[in-house]
Amino acid sequence: MGRLFYIMAAISVFMVLIAGSGAILISKTIVAQSKVDAVSTTAKSISLALSEQVNLLNSFLDKMAQDSDVKAAVAQKKPELLTNAAKKLENHFPGILSVKFLLLDNKDSNNKAENPAMSFADLQMAQKTFESDQQAAIQGDINVDRHLAIARKITENNVTIGVVLAGVNYDFIERILSATPLEKGYIELRQGKLSLATTGKKNTGDETGNPPVHVPGTEWELVYDNENGGGFIELSLLSGIILIPALIVVLAFVTGYRKISDLLKDDTTLVIKAFKDIVTEKPLGEYPVKLSEMNRVISTLSQFKRIVGEKLFEN
């Protein structure tokens, strides 16, 4: 029985060591998660900064679209007036690269001859703007004519008579991300599958499981990661470290309890038999008990019978 308890004690100590290791890993995972949360907070602050900049550009173009000279040029559809209106916008709009107009007469046309200054993506955005204002988006080929496209309605007496589309320099994106350096972690600004800017160092080529941060007023999302962030494998490992030792301890104690119960049951039967043999004055036989403690009980009963026999013989 003592051996059984030694084994159970060793198992318990072993499980305590495993549980202690699990606690250390859990603490490390909590620290890693706090770093992921810090990167997430940084991504949200970048999102707000980008959104504010885009909103500022939108408000500029809203005012320009309601300028009296712009309205007159679009209403009269005279090329020289449209050219002058475009120059006026270029002189007052910060970071402007180009200004283009889509008139009501050409809003349903995809013919490049009628809209020579617009790329297909710009033309689509301008056409959709007749129905509702579109979100700002990066368009054009990189290192050629890539720009931030912003389109707004031009209205006269609450009737849309044209659309102004501004191509704006988007270098503010790089400035904002560069002004937010990360000691550890990675943040990437994306428009769909298009990568616009990054900061930090990416740990692997795999996609992260973190939910992206949307930039309000745009089609952009910020994808972020932390190189020490805990993933599904780490969480599964920690769960195993906690649950498996607990199950082993429970199994060990259940097994030990059943073993001890069986031993006690068998040995108690033999002890009772030995006691009956003493009471009925039968000769003591062999009582193969398995627990050393029960052996001492049998030995004591044997001595008791011998003493009682000697007393009766003396009398």
CATH class, 54-171 region = alpha beta
- Confidence band for 286, pLDDT divided at 50, 70 and 90: confident
**For the chain, percent of residues with pLDDT exceeding 90:** 17
Residue matched to tokens 């599904």: 232
Average pLDDT over the chain, rounded to an integer: 77
For residues 38 and 20, the model is more confident at 38
Phi–psi pair at 115, nearest 5 degrees:
-130, 65
For residues 207 and 260, the model is more confident at 260
Q: What's the pLDDT at 150?
A: 92
| Domain locations in the chain as residue ranges | 54-171, 233-314
pLDDT in tens, 57-115: 999 999 989 889 899 999 888 889 988 988 888 888 888 888 888 888 776 544 444 44
pLDDT in tens, 111-165: 444 444 567 888 888 889 998 888 999 988 776 678 899 999 999 888 899 999 9
For residues 2 and 86, the model is more confident at 86
For residues 222 and 310, the model is more confident at 222
Contact 140, 146 (CB under 8 A): yes
Report the pLDDT averaged over residues 243-253.
72
Q: What's the pLDDT at 49?
A: 93
CA distance 313 to 315: 5
Q: What angle do CA 72, 73, 77 make, to 5 degrees?
A: 115
Contact 127, 107 (CB under 8 A): yes
CA distance 83 to 91: 12
CA distance 227 to 1: 52
Tokens of 19: 């549980």
Phi–psi pair at 132, nearest 5 degrees:
-160, 155
Could you tell me where the DSSP H helices lie in 66-149?
A: 68-76, 79-92, 120-129
Q: What's the pLDDT at 173?
A: 92
For residues 112 and 293, the model is more confident at 293
Phi-psi region at 109: left, alpha or beta (left = phi > 0; alpha = psi -120 to 50): beta
214 has a pLDDT exceeding 90:
yes
Contact 237, 244 (CB under 8 A): no
240 has a pLDDT exceeding 70:
no
